[in-house]
Each structure stands twice: as structure tokens, then as C-alpha cells.
Amino acid sequence: MPEKKKAAPKAARKKAAKPKPKADVRGWAPGVPKEKPKGRTYDGPLSVNAKPKKADRIFFGTGGVPHSAKPQTHPAAVRRLHDLGLGVYEMEFVHGVRIREETCDEVMAAQAETGVQVTAHGPYYVNLYSLEDEKVAASRKRVLDTARALAKCGGDGACFHPGFYQKRDPKEVYDFICNQIGELADILEEEGCAVRLDPETTGKGTQFGSIEEIADMGGDLKGKNVGFTIDFAHIHARSAGAHNTYDEFGAQLELLKNRMGDDVLKTLHIHLSGIAYSDKGEAHHLELDESDMNYKDLFRALIDFGAEGRVVCESPALEYDALIMQREYRKLNGG
């Protein structure tokens, strides 16, 4: 009699999980390989742009230490950007606010010596309306620590991603986060810290921070030291490829002006890069000219609206792309 086969264990009888389909990630310029860039080195020649015939109203720089800075430190970053004719440095505290007192002193000295504007990006781990109270408290501390460290460096605008919806009503999330940011601004004012809080437009639909929410918050918190960071790449990605034409950029600037007042366009803090995205929003940053980001029409809109402020380049190429942005802006602005 043939031997009876043992039944396979329950776990083995389960159907193998189907692999999740890959997201349809878009955002590359025609002809560019559609894959995440990795392992690139940026050590090629850099060409400083000619002095503008017409004074700049918008200044350009990098989010993070430029590749060509030696050593790779915050003070060296400020001086290197000045050497390149760029005017903004955003310190990246995205994995935690860790900077020594003596480094803060050196950054302040470099800033005073060069005139380069210094800002900061707070940690990614901020959720001002987490489902856990401890995470809200930790998030508040990260925002405050970013502003305090920036003040010691002579800077002025602390950018951060405010939080997530976590399947709650967007109006409820808006009210809570708006109240939180107002309270944090009050704490900094009581401490005598003059750094402005600049909540940022975010790149995914799960994140709080549509341009409408950020504009409304700027209006509701008028009178407090609260501004905003408008990331045009994030807005483009959040909409899965829309918001990338001259008319759409103009509509965004009109929205800011209508909800926050005419003066808002005189102190813009902008983030910009190439960006890859899917239907769920932001995937990762791309080099500017390898992406579909329509930065030339964006600069046309900014010039036509009389905008002033600064643009922080967050592309992987950092100062290489910041110089491309500056060159294109000057060309459109009359040289």
C-alpha cells in the first residue's frame, strides 16, 4: 500500500503573496532613463555666472553643503556659495538638530563676512498632530530646536514639514496644526528668538501642506512670526504632474497674495528641484534638466509678479543646478 503523504503545513499551503506592482513613477524629461539616480559624483567644473546687468530680486543657493565645499561643513558651505556668486545656504537638520556652539559662531561669522543668507530645514520626523502625544511633544521640540540653532547662526527662516492627516478630517488637522505653530511662534517670541517659522508645502497627498492650507495658515497667523516655504516641485508632484505651466504658477502666486496680502511676494522662500512622482505624489528629487519641471515659466511668472526673495535648490546636483537656475532667472530678468 503506498505511503500516505503528509499534509503540507498551513503556512506552506497559503498562496504566495503577489508582488506589489511598481508605481508608475513619472517626471523625467523626454529621453532620460526612468530610474532613480544613484552613486553619481559631482566633481566637474563649475562656471560662475556673469554679474547681472539688472540687480537680482531673487537670490539662489543650496539646501545642504555644496559638493565643491572643502571641508564639508556649514561654515565652508557659506563661503563656497559666496565664491560661486550664490546667495543662500539652507542648513539641513533633516535627521536631527545637531550642531556645536562653536560651529554656530563660525556660520554667523561667515554669514556676516559674505552676506549669504542662512536658513534651515528642520527634521523630517515632525508630526504636529500625531496620534501619540509623545510624538507631538517631540515634534514641537524639533521645530523649536531648529529655530534656536538657526538664530545662533545668524539665520532667519526655519522650514519644516508640519505633519500628516492620518485619515482624519483635513479641517480638524488644519485647526490643530495651525494652533500648534501659533503656540511655537509665541514661545520663540518670549525667548527673544527672531527666527521665523516657515511651514512648507508638501509633496504627498497623505501629508498636511497643500498650497491652500499653507496660504490659509499664513493668513490666520498674520501678526505672528510665521511665514511659509513654497516648494513648487512638491506642488507639481502632489498633483501627479499638474501645476507646471505659466498660468498655474501665476494662479499660485495670486492665491498667496489674496490670502496673505500683497507684501507676501516680497519675501518669498522657495524650494525648487527636478522631481519624480507617481499618482501618490513625490517619489524623489531629480536633477533640474533631467526632469519635466518647468522652471523657466516659473521664473517668468515670478518676474511678472514682481516677486522677491530666495530660491533654495534641492536637486541632487545642488550648486550645479543652483547656477543653472540663477543664469536662467537673470536671462529672463534682463541680463
The domain spans of the chain are 59-332
Instruction: Report the alpha-carbon distance of residue 59 to residue 125 in Å, rounded.
Output: 29
Instruction: Report the alpha-carbon distance of residue 223 to residue 203 in Å, rounded.
Output: 27
User: φ, ψ for residue 281 (rounded to 5)?
Assistant: 110, -150
User: φ, ψ for residue 222 (rounded to 5)?
Assistant: -60, 135
With H, G, I as helix, E, B as strand and everything else as coil, classify residue 200. Answer: strand
The tens-digit pLDDT sequence of the chain (335 residues) is: 444 445 555 554 555 566 665 678 999 999 998 888 788 899 999 999 999 999 999 999 999 999 999 999 999 999 999 999 999 999 999 999 999 999 999 999 999 999 999 999 999 999 999 999 999 999 999 999 999 999 999 999 999 999 999 999 999 999 999 999 999 999 999 999 999 999 999 999 999 999 999 999 999 999 999 999 999 999 999 999 999 999 999 999 999 999 999 899 999 999 999 999 999 999 999 999 999 999 999 999 999 999 999 999 999 999 999 999 999 999 999 97
191 and 182 Cβ atoms separated by less than 8 Å:
no
Instruction: Report the alpha-carbon distance of residue 315 to residue 322 in Å, rounded.
Output: 8
Instruction: Report the alpha-carbon distance of residue 43 to residue 47 in Å, rounded.
Output: 12
Which residues are bridge partners to 328 per DSSP? none
Grid coordinates representing 87 are 546667495
State whether the Cα torsion 318-319-322-328 is positive or negative: negative
State whether the Cα torsion 80-266-296-239 is positive or negative: positive
99 and 110 Cβ atoms separated by less than 8 Å:
no
Query: DSSP H helical segments within 154-283, as ranges?
Result: 170-191, 211-220, 232-238, 246-260
Instruction: Report the alpha-carbon distance of residue 294 to residue 296 in Å, rounded.
Output: 6
Please report which helix (H) or strand (E) contains residue 113, including its range.
Answer: helix 101-114
Let me know how long the chain is: 335
Predicted local confidence at residue 316, as pLDDT: 96
Residue that has been written with the C-alpha cell 483635513 in this structure: 170
CATH node for 59-332: 3.20.20.150
Predicted local confidence at residue 4, as pLDDT: 41
